[in-house]
Structure 1
Amino acid sequence: MTGGQETSGTAGDGFGTGDLSVVGRINTASNVTLVCDVVDGPRVVYKPVRGERPLWDFPDGTLAGREVASYLISDALGWGVIPETILREGPYGPGMVQRWVESVDNHTDRGDRLDLVDLCPVGAVPEGFCEVLRAQDDLGNEVSLIHADDPRLQRMAVLDVLLNNADRKGGHALEGTDGQIYGVDHGICLHVEHKLRTVLWGWAGQPVDDVLLADIEKFVAALPGELADRLAPHLADAEIDALGDRAGELLAAPVMPVPRTSRPIPWPAF
């Protein structure tokens, strides 16, 4: 489980070792989430372990390690979905530190374009988007929850299946100014029991792309060796085994899953 200190990072920019200067706090986050600048280095997100809210179904003090493990898995797959994430010391003790993503604000930067995950009036799903469900907004208007039908976002959805992500909200999928799509907030992942809750259900029942399956096959082959050793400080052995089982099941039946519970979407959805 979470333990030790991981200070790797891009050489020379202080990501792993430079002092953190707190810029502000993200108040919408469930756990203490601080925006920091590394002195003479990059901007980062810092989540101290001591600021984690206890959960009934995840061991206390393990969320930071699950964020690091999720990054290591994304990196091992070669997908680059999760920004570089490490466990290191900060002003409030050890915690997860992740590179900041400069993201596009479609509602201002691009003339009111839709975000990757958004709402639209029922019956008005635009081309290039998938409808997930229909509901009512705060004013009682009928709306559709939609997400972009984008292969970059679909790759994130496949990663969530492997991670058993219990909290893929719309705000956790970011369109970077560099043209990439990034996923953040992976503390509630990698449980041994089925926990998948996501807003990315638009591909349910559809085949997984062959290119992604080839990456997963290589991942399964590599998992029992050095990769498992890198995950071991952050996950229990049973959780690493369950990760391998989920990957193997996806290879055996390469179709995106359909909801299996009465609560398939996290709340709030954004």
Structure 2
Amino acid sequence: MTGRELTLLSEGRVELVGRIPRSSNETFLAEVSCAEDSGYAVYKPEAGERPLSDFEPGLYRRERAAYLLSEALGWGLVPPTVIREEAPLGVGSLQWFIECDFQEHYFTLYEDAPETHPDLARIALFDYVANNTDRKSGHVLRGDDGRVWGIDHGLCFAASFKLRTVIWDFAGHPIPAALLEDIAPLAEATPPEVAELLDAGEVTALERRVQRLLSSGVLPVDRTGMRYPWPLV
């Protein structure tokens, strides 16, 4: 994607189109427009967040942090995401809407599209680094251009280990050397733009997770058989 998407998200006029159904928090489809250009975004206002016992309000910051982490790694797994203060329902995240076939998701891609497996395994690695608590199958999309994306990262980056994901098909597989090189700097320092959206304990935990990955060299294994989100899709 180009800077066009970030310009529209950051500077465009935001108009609500409608609520996205079956979301645990209030989530909206919005149109963003600048002059003659426009596009669609997913808007998650803080005001629509369901109170949680294990995450502080402000999940939109984690959505932005996941995007920044993906960009810092050079992986481009998370659609462009910004924080907007002046959005219609108050502060929240705006993420570029991915045009795709919503009948496809992780399970169908894994079974029917083996060419996506490297990207799916990379998402599994990203989720461990980010400590994703909610990687449902429907949070993996294949855009109309064939690109694989991960969405919905509001429940990431907790200090305590909370990984829950449907992507266990690559568990125990060696992590490609190029990906280990990508994550290696995180063992020493979290990118400042990511760290400023998290607390100190969350930053330390992220770096320790990367240190464990570098030591093991393999994608994590769920030895409990319980680290799945619900619902699965």
Give TM-score, length-normalised by structure 1.
Answer: 0.78
Deviating runs (4+, > 3 A) in structure 1? 9-13, 125-129, 218-221
Structure-2 separation of matches of 1:253 and 1:237 = 25
Indicate the SS of the match to 1:156: helix
1:12 Cα offset (Å): 8.4
Structure-2 separation of matches of 1:48 and 1:103 = 23
Residue pairs, 1:124-143, within 5 angstroms: none
Residue of structure 1 equivalent to 2:99: 102
1:181 partnered with 2:148:
yes
Structure-1 separation of matches of 2:171 and 2:59 = 27
Structure 2 residues not aligned, in runs of 5+: none
* Residues 84-106 of structure 1: per-residue CA shift (max 9 Å, x gap): 1111121000001111111135x
What is the Cα-based RMSD across aligned positions, in Å? 2.3
Matched-pair contact (CA < 8 Å) for 1:88–1:94: yes
Residue of structure 1 equivalent to 2:213: 250
Indicate the SS of the match to 2:62: helix
Structure-2 separation of matches of 1:256 and 1:239 = 21
1:149 Cα offset (Å): 6.4
Residue of structure 2 equivalent to 1:80: 76
1:127 Cα offset (Å): 7.3
Structure-1 separation of matches of 2:5 and 2:142 = 26
Q: 1:195 aligns with which of 159, 162, 165?
A: 162
Residue pairs, 1:1-270, within 5 angstroms: 10=4, 13-40=7-34, 41-59=38-56, 61-89=57-85, 90-105=87-102, 115-118=105-108, 150-221=117-188, 223-224=189-190, 227-228=191-192, 230-261=193-224, 263-270=226-233
Distance 1:94 1:69, change over 3 A: same
Matched-pair contact (CA < 8 Å) for 2:105–2:140: no
1:212 Cα offset (Å): 0.8
Matched positions, count: 227
* Residues 59-78 of structure 1: per-residue CA shift (max 9 Å, x gap): 1x131111111111111000
1:14 Cα offset (Å): 2.8
Give TM-score, length-normalised by structure 2.
Answer: 0.89
1:218 Cα offset (Å): 3.6
- Percent identity over the alignment is 41
* Residues 187-241 of structure 1: per-residue CA shift (max 9 Å, x gap): 00111111111000001111111111111114445x35xx22x124321011011
Structure 1 residues not aligned, in runs of 5+: 1-8, 108-113, 120-124, 130-147
Structure-1 separation of matches of 2:4 and 2:196 = 21
Structure-1 separation of matches of 2:111 and 2:155 = 32
Structure-2 separation of matches of 1:87 and 1:12 = 11
Indicate the SS of the match to 1:150: helix
